[in-house]
Structure 1
Amino acid sequence: MTGAVLHPRVGPRRGGARASTWWGKAWVRAVEEASYAEADLRAARALARGGHVGQIATEPGRYVASVDDARGLWTVEGTLPVLDHSGLTALVETVAAVAGRVAALVAGELPHDLVEQADESGAELLPSGYELGSVCGCDHWTDPCVHALAVLYQLAWLVDADPFVLFQLRGLSRDELLARLHARAVVAADVEADVDLDQAVEAALYAARIVDEAESSASGMDIHQPQADDPVR
């Protein structure tokens, strides 16, 4: 996988396979929308909680992981549609539109208004159930199968802890987002500098024009105004 990120394996953990953040819960809702049966979800949660999912590798539009169960070891490859060029641009602009959004993302937070504004701009971050595609080596007839659902549950935990995982899956890695924001800030600074220079030149030209007009007016008064010592006729 080109440019893939390999996430640490999650060991057995107590409790449910649910997420804790609002965006993680939205991911889980999409996973459960994609499932065909509640029994598959229960089995997938058991696999996820039991530490049966190997390290998950993520890259734009794709994730891969292995899952072991009583029948063997299975490889799951999943997909999520990436944003097109205009969508990626809109996402970057949305992040840059409000101060503090970058800091929130770096701190592991995903502002709700960022997601809403991105959606309105045509850059949907959170997936729906029909977007979660998968292929597994098992003979289960459903898509996603139990193994894919287990991987998707653990992906919810990754997205929970780091929203940049979601950005990467949608086609915009953390480094690329920060690089685009930096480039955008540099361009904005250059434009502002050019505008300030243009304004300064315009102000100087205006001042010079005022001086010229004032001097011309004073010269006209010297020629046409009568002097105090001129003889009265």
Structure 2
Amino acid sequence: MTVTSHPPLAPRRGAARATTWWGKAWVRALEEAAYAETDLRRARSLARSGAVGGISITTGRVVAAVADQVRGRDEELHTVEVRVPVLDAEGRAALVEVVAAEAGRIGALLAGDLPHGLVEHADEAGVELLPYGTEMETTCTCVGWLDPCPHALAVLSQVAWLVDADPLVLLHLRGLPRDDLLARLHARSAQPEPADELDAAHLDTALDAAVRAARILELLDRDDDASVDHLL
């Protein structure tokens, strides 16, 4: 199983929101998952301040630690785990076909772009790339009862930044890591194209020509020039 570890992200000033359309879609999903605006504000503050540690991403799973300090208490370190649904084998195969369907799509992904057409065609194939709020399951070691809590929302906020910068993070979470995607595309391109099948008429013509050629060779061996002229 491929695990990608991202070092702690540097603190960011201002809103520090996603800038791409797919990054914003991730942000909308985490906002849908939140219970209250106060939780979102707290989460954004934690994410921007650098309270989130290194983030580990694997198929369907994100793990990170969040340092939090409540007024009058010592700083506490909480472990957050986020889970999103993973594509099944059929879904992964369909996604590879969608990526390979148009020239330039894999190049766009490697360059940090997620074409609208790719996502739309994936949806048509029954493959959902962009998550929605109720898909995101979170756990945290804090004593809070909300799910997701502000610590989990802070991690999700930073994952939005990672997805914003590299849409392949999104594919990894859905079950298709970068190296796996490239290997599947390479294997697909290396397969020979299936030969065109002859239709019935062409097949009959080819068989007739083969029979005539064999008969001519037989007559030539017998020096029967008249019969050869008749066949020609």
TM bin, normalised by shorter chain, reads: 0.7 to 0.9
TM-superposed deviation, 1:18: 1.3
| Equivalent position amino acid for 2:153 in 1 | L
Partner Cα separation in structure 1 for residue 185 and residue 85 of structure 2: 23
The residue aligned with 2:10 is 11
Rounded Cα–Cα distance in structure 1 between residues aligned with 2:213 and 2:27: 73
Match in the other structure for 2:30 = 31
Alignment partners' CA distance in 2, 1:21 and 1:109: 9
Alignment of 1:41-56 (within 5 A): 41-56=40-55
SS of 2:66 mapped into structure 1: strand
Q: Equivalences for 1:73-152 in 2 at 5 Å?
A: 73-152=77-156
Q: Deviations over 1:143-192 (max 9, x none)?
A: 100000000000000000011100000000000000001111111xx234
Q: Which runs of 5+ in 1 are unaligned?
A: 224-233
Higher mean alpha-carbon deviation, 166-175 vs 207-216, is at 207-216
Deviations 1:60-99 (A, max 9, x none): 0100000011141100011011001111111000000011
Which one-letter code corresponds to 1:185 in the other structure? S
Q: Say which SS state the counterpart of residue 93 (structure 1) adopts.
A: helix
Partner of 2:61: 62
Alpha-carbon contact 1:43-1:146 (below 8 Å) kept: yes
* Residue ranges of structure 2 left out of the alignment (5+ in a row): 71-75, 220-224
The 3 A distance-change label for structure 1 pair 222 and 140 is closer
Verify the 8 A CA contact 1:17 1:153 in the aligned structure 2. Answer: no
Report if the CA contact (8 A) 1:80-1:132 is conserved. yes
Superposed CA RMSD: 2.9
Letter in 2 for 1:17: A
Kindly provide the amino acid, as one letter, of the partner of residue 147 in structure 1: H
Is 1:59–1:169's contact at 8 Å kept on the other side of the alignment? yes
Tell whether the 8 Å contact from 1:7 to 1:56 is kept in structure 2 after alignment. yes
Shift of residue 3, structure 1, vs aligned partner: 2.4
Aligned to 1:230: none
Kindly name which structure, 1 or 2, has the bigger radius of gyration based on alpha carbons: 1
Alignment length (residue pairs): 216
After TM superposition, list the pairs within 5 Å mapping 1:159-170 onto structure 2. 159-170=163-174
Q: CA deviation at 1:17?
A: 3.3
Structure 1 CA distance for aligned equivalents of residues 172 and 180 of structure 2 = 9
- CA separation in 1, counterparts of 2:180 and 2:166? 16
Supply the AA of the counterpart residue of 1:138: C
Question: Aligned equivalents of 1:23 and 1:168: distance in 2?
Answer: 15
Code of the aligned partner of 1:32? E
